[in-house]
């Protein structure tokens, strides 16, 4: 992943609650989180549904917009003050001209896809306790970086249920 991060020629800082991307916009950048944290969410009947988090040493992207160049329903918002490195699609496209770089990029995309599949399976089939345990095992850093109310939303449970699960 270092090779991807090295492509960045621009670093930006976004303040707590500031939006990096809003619904209906096109975003063809990939972001590397140096510090802070972000959430990716959609609005479902005026209710926020958190899809993904980005925190220190993570890549975050509105993947649908990045791949298609079309507007996306996703919002990306800072949870706390966040410093990110910006990598443009044109920088990625240039990077992908060599075979070894394409292999690295495919591995990154495959990892993102596997994470998304695991999450979908969790949401659709597992109990709140199983979802909590799997996320804790898969991403223990999440619980240091992200407030409980956002984790509860991500896990599709109430903050009270998450609190009970953490105590048990």
Residue spans of the domains in the chain: they are 2-167
Burial of 25 (0-12, 13-18, 19+ CB in 10 A): middle
Res 34 pLDDT > 90: yes
- pLDDT attached to residue 80: 97
Q: Are 3 and 101 in contact (CB under 8 A)?
A: yes
CATH class assigned to 2-167: mainly beta
- Taking residues 147-165, what's their average pLDDT? 94
pLDDT tens per residue, range 101-148: 999 999 999 998 998 898 888 888 889 999 999 999 988 999 999 999
- Secondary structure string (H, E, C) spanning the chain: CHHHHCCCCEEEEECCCCEEECCCCCCCEEEEEEEEEEEEEEEECCEEEEEEEEECCCEEECHHHHHHCCCCCCEEEEEEEEEEEEEEHHHHHHHCCCHHHHHHHHHHHHHHHHHHHHHHHHHHHCCHHHHHHHHHHHCCCHHHHCCHHHHHHHCCCCHHHHHHHHHC
pLDDT score of 119: 86
Q: How far apart are the first and last CA of the chain?
A: 37
Per-residue model confidence as pLDDT tens digits over 63-109: 999 999 999 999 999 999 999 999 999 999 999 999 999 999 999 99
- What digits encode the pLDDT tens for the residues 49-70? 999 999 999 999 999 999 999 9
Residue 68 has a pLDDT of 96
Read off φ and ψ for residue 12, nearest 5 degrees. -130, 155
Cα 82 to Cα 70: distance, rounded to the nearest angstrom: 26
């Amino acid at each position: 992943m270092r090779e991807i991060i090295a492509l960045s020629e621009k670093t930006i800082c976004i303040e707590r609650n500031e939006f990096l991307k809003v619904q209906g916009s096109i975003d063809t950048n990939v972001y590397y989180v140096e510090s802070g944290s972000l959430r990716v969410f959609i609005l479902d009947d005026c209710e926020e549904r958190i899809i993904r988090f980005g925190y220190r040493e993570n890549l975050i992207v509105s993947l649908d917009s990045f791949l298609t160049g079309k507007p996306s329903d996703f919002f990306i918002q800072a949870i706390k003050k966040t410093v990110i490195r910006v990598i443009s699609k044109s920088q990625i496209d240039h990077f992908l001209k060599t075979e070894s770089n394409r292999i690295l990029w495919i591995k990154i995309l495959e990892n993102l896809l596997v994470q998304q599949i695991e999450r979908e399976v969790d949401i659709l089939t597992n109990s709140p306790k199983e979802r909590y345990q799997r996320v804790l095992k898969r991403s223990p850093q999440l619980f240091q970086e992200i407030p409980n109310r956002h984790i509860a939303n991500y896990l599709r449970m109430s903050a009270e249920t998450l609190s009970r699960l953490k105590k048990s």
